[in-house]
Amino acid sequence: MTRQKIQRHTSSYFALAACLLACGLMACQPEKQEGKADDSGLFKTESIAWEEKQSAEGCKLSADYPAENDNALSQNVREWINEQLGGTYNGDLGDGKKLIESYGQARAEQIRQDIAEFGENTAMGQSCYYVQLKKLFETTLFVTYTNEVYEYAGGAHGSEFLGGAVFRKADGRKFGWDMFTENGKEKLRGMIKQALQKKYFRTDNEKEFYDMLLIDNADIQFPLPVTPPICRPQGVQFIYQQYEIAPYAAGSPTCTIPYDSLTTAFTTTMQPLAASVTDSIARATAYGYQK
């Protein structure tokens, strides 16, 4: 396969990746309203991106990187970004450009080595790797980040990962499944199952619902996602990765459950954070007015 053909294929895979990611965590945003937020309490970030342009392989990484130093929240978010990209960078985390560039160059070099090993006439010549680490939403008390990855390395289709984390602003503590009590997590099994059946798979028939899954309806407990939940403007989002409970064609089954339905499931530690989703910063960032 010529380099020109490879580049054309790579462009099409990037277009597919952008489409898939746009339909993932960033989907279903509230309609944008006119107005401007007071940004005095916002968590400041800078957009950093690295892209391999002059090669057959597609490789792009981008992150909303913490712009403020000397606070626990910035440090914890930087460490999380480092870990999401591999956790091997041991340079100064205060320099986000170097961190992103380091991972980008390493990944692009690995793709080049794979192409050299397998040959440009194989599907490996169409490889691409796309990562976006984004500040999605925040309130006066917490900030939500998302991690979206699309990767293609030959074969019938690529793979997509959707995830994220919730950080308390006061001290940078990261929340995942520990935002819920043990009893709360048990209640969630039924709530998530019902939400997936009605809203994601769009069926009122339970047998039909299970026919779409890779799990048996004879199972005593509906499985919780492996991926930690994240806080969105409308509620808490639960994400199952590709193949986790359903075939590839089903994508990444997700559902968002409103905060007021989860009040008794939250820990007392999490309850104040959940209550802050109606404050002024939350209302502003839900409509995309963060700077």
Contact assessment for residue 250 and residue 202, using Cβ atoms and an 8 Å cutoff: no
Q: What are the tens digits of pLDDT across the range 244-256? A: 999 999 999 999 9
The mean per-residue pLDDT over the stretch 208-223 comes to 87
- pTM of the predicted model, to two decimals? 0.84
Domains of the chain in sequence order: 3-25+43-175 (3.30.565.40), 179-282 (3.90.640.20)
Q: Which residue's structure tokens are 């940004």?
A: 39
DSSP H helices, the chain, are 3-22, 72-84, 96-118, 182-195, 206-211, 271-275, 280-285
112 falls in which pLDDT band (50, 70, 90)? confident
- End-to-end CA separation in angstroms for the chain: 44
Is residue 169 within 8 A of residue 73, CB to CB? The reply is: yes
Give the Cα separation of 196 and 172 in Å (integer): 31
How many angstroms separate the CA atoms of 87 and 80, rounded?
8
Mean pLDDT throughout 196-211? 96
Contact between 150 and 160 under an 8 Å Cβ cutoff? The reply is yes
Q: Using CA atoms, how far apart are residues 167 and 230, in angstroms rounded to an integer?
A: 10
Condensed to tens digits (0 to 9), the pLDDT of residues 53-111 reads 755 568 999 999 999 988 999 999 999 999 999 999 999 999 999 999 999 999 988 87
> Is the per-residue pLDDT at 11 higher than 90?
no
CA distance 37 to 39: 6
CA distance 209 to 159: 24
Distance in angstroms (rounded) separating the CA atoms of residues 228 and 144: 12
Q: Please check the confidence at residue 185 and state whether its pLDDT lies above 90.
A: yes
Write the pLDDT tens digit of every residue in 139-166: 999 999 999 999 987 777 889 999 999 9
Higher pLDDT, 232 or 41: 232
